[in-house]
Amino acid sequence: MKKIFSLVYILIFIGGFTSMLTSCKSEPSSSVDQDKIYTAYELYYDANADITYARATFKFSNIAGTLLQLETPSQVTFNGDLLTFNPTLAYYEKQYTGLVSSGTFAWTDLNGATKSNSVSIKTIDYPAGLDTIQRNSSYEMFWVGDSLGANQNVTLTVTAQINETTLQVFLQTNVNSKSIVLGMNQLQLLPVGGIHLYMDRRYSPALSQETSAGGSITGRYRPLNKLIQLH
């Protein structure tokens, strides 16, 4: 499971919903039963770009199913704004300047049925003065922001400045936590020198309106990335 988890974050830690560079093939949504469409929504704020991304992905049957492109009159909106299909990555998206901290996705299927789901973004930041970490002992980083609530987690991806493919991922899921522990065993797998920190706080409540195939919804916040020293 740890290997699978690490692979997932290798794919997503730098970018947004996905960082795959190749085209994703999709099928028309009319080819499947509308109640068998899996829906995945994400509201993602990246402070490095100062942009909020509202994204929706549709798949047949489950999370691993065939990607789908909606056909008229089916559509998906966020706070009433129509999301546009990205044919390269096979998801729908609208970008907003600045932080949009909450909103509602609404998907209307080919039968005219609309399912609406709301989500919010929980903020987080690095502690002031964080510039150095020692690799020969564990380190507990207390973040700036509320402690974790239900359906929330924090991930910290640490990459070597000289080679970003050398990385370690740290995870906190415990409710009421306000810190994340960087274990010595993982820190020692990183070389001495500059390291980049990429932190994400996710809130993933259950969908309030879904098909029989289910789905997911996530609010994600990424503060400004940091470059510090590992000694």
Question: Is 142 within 8 Å of 179 (Cβ atoms)?
Answer: yes
**What CA dihedral angle connects 121, 122, 126 and 127, to 10 degrees?**
160
pLDDT at site 220: 98
Domain boundaries, the chain: 2-121, 132-207+217-230
Other C-beta atoms within 10 Å of 42: how many? 22
Contact residues for 123 (Cβ-Cβ < 8 A; gap 6+): 101, 145, 146, 201, 221, 223
Question: Is 175 within 8 Å of 12 (Cβ atoms)?
Answer: no
Do the two domains 2-121 and 132-207+217-230 of this chain adopt the same fold? yes
Contact residues for 74 (Cβ-Cβ < 8 A; gap 6+): 29, 107, 108, 109, 110
pLDDT at site 4: 39
Print pLDDT tens along the chain (231 aa): 444 344 444 444 444 444 343 457 778 888 789 999 999 999 999 999 999 999 999 999 999 999 999 999 999 999 999 999 999 999 999 999 999 999 999 999 999 999 999 999 999 999 999 999 999 999 999 999 999 999 999 999 999 999 989 999 999 999 999 999 999 999 999 999 999 999 999 999 999 999 999 999 999 999 999 999 999
CATH class of the domain at 132-207+217-230? mainly beta
pLDDT at site 58: 97
Task: Give phi and psi for 34, each to the nearest 5.
Answer: -60, -25
Domain with residues 2-121, CATH architecture = Sandwich (2.60)
pLDDT at site 14: 43
